[in-house]
Amino acid sequence: MNILVFTDLDGSLLNHDDYSFEEARPTLDRLRGAKIPLVFVTSKTRREVEPLQNRLGFREPFIVENGGGIFVPRGYRSVSLPEEFREQGNFFVLALGLPYGRIRGVFAAMKSRFKITGYGDLSSQEVAVLSGLAVEEAERAKAREFSEPFLLKSVPDLPELERLAAREGMKIVRGGRFYHLIGDRQDKGAAVRGVRSLYRGIFGMEHVAVGIGDSENDLPMLQEVDVPVLIPHPERGWLEASLPGLVKAPDPGSRGWNEALGRVLDELEADSP
């Protein structure tokens, strides 16, 4: 049985407060040893994901900025990708979202009416304070291509912001710390469908897909996998979700990720002929 694992990062594989993945090392080692692909599905940017992949020892496709783009390493599995993938540095990328310049323009118009603050309004030092990242990491987080994370001071303004976004062909999704303004045709679920299609068709791999997330913006991803896993928030607990076969991790962050995915792998391997 081939297994394919999709995972959110912040609040799931990475702890909510300190971004550590140390308690997930046993299952990460197990994935590497079994050559099970681990596909990041994150609100982070490409510039954030690259060094994290290097630290973890994985070289797999990944999905950035809430489904804004699918990145496939150059030469991955020695296959040729469809022509809609374009070359970008060490990757081939399929853009599913709108360009950041367009999103930022709409956000600036919204900002003139509502008390919202986006990454584009902040210095790297200010992003670091708000996010808990180091300044160098915050600089990479500001390198947006498909989305604008933002803070909203008055939650009752959200419905009107959503209406304005919809008129511009965009939408607002909520992550663990920030809201995100993105194109209305992008989400983590659409990107996961695209990656699963690549594995079945281009890469020739039928598989069982496991998906792991903790936030509202992860629900589209969890709806597209065979085994959805929900990580609890350290304070709010589990997100309300009704999904067939849902597995609830016992603990937040990397500890819950390690325990829940380890249990899922045990069960899948026991069922394998």
What is the Cα–Cα distance from 140 to 13, expressed in whole angstroms? Answer: 19
Catalytic residue chosen out of the listed positions 8, 187, 214, 218: 8
Amino acid at site 24 = A
- DSSP state for residue 243 in the 8-state scheme: -
The DSSP secondary structure of 133-195, one letter per residue, reads: --HHHHHHHT--SS-EEEEES-GGGHHHHHHHHHHTTEEEEE-SS-EEEEETT--HHHHHHHH
What is the Cα–Cα distance from 154 to 225, expressed in whole angstroms? Answer: 34
Within 13 Å of residue 56, how many CA atoms lie on the same side as its CB? 29
Helices (H) and strands (E) in the chain, counts: 9, 13
Burial of residue 258, with CB atoms counted within 10 A of its CB: 0-12 exposed, 13-18 middle, 19 or more buried:
buried
Is-catalytic flag, 8? yes
Whether the Cβ atoms of residue 10 and residue 19 lie closer than 8 Å to each other = yes
- Please identify every residue annotated as catalytic: 8
